[in-house]
Amino acid sequence: MEIILNGQKQVFSEPLTVAGLLDRLGIHPKSIVVEKNLDIVDRENFERETIRDGDTVEIIRLVGGG
């Protein structure tokens, strides 16, 4: 399966959920926003939202500051 992740082509051997992708990348789901094919994925749907071949995924880290 080939996807575009943050503007770069990535290849995975099997379909993943958003949660599975984040786990594989070592990213904690509470500190990010995920956009799949230009739509924001609700955090409560990370376990159910499947990433398929050809999808475009953007992972945006939330940064606090003042």
Picking from 56, 37, 38, 44, the residue whose alpha carbon sits closest to that of residue 19 is 44
Burial of 5 (0-12, 13-18, 19+ CB in 10 A): middle
Nearest to 56 by CA among 14, 10, 19, 4: 4
The pLDDT of residue 55:
97
The model carries a pTM of 0.89
CATH 3.90.1150.10, domain 2-61, yes or no: no
Domain ranges for the chain, please list them: 2-61
Judge whether 29 and 59 are in contact, CB under 8 Å.
no
Note the pLDDT tens digit of each residue in 18-64. Answer: 999 999 999 999 889 999 999 999 999 999 999 999 999 999 997 77
Closest to 54 in 3D by CA, of 17, 9, 14, 20: 9
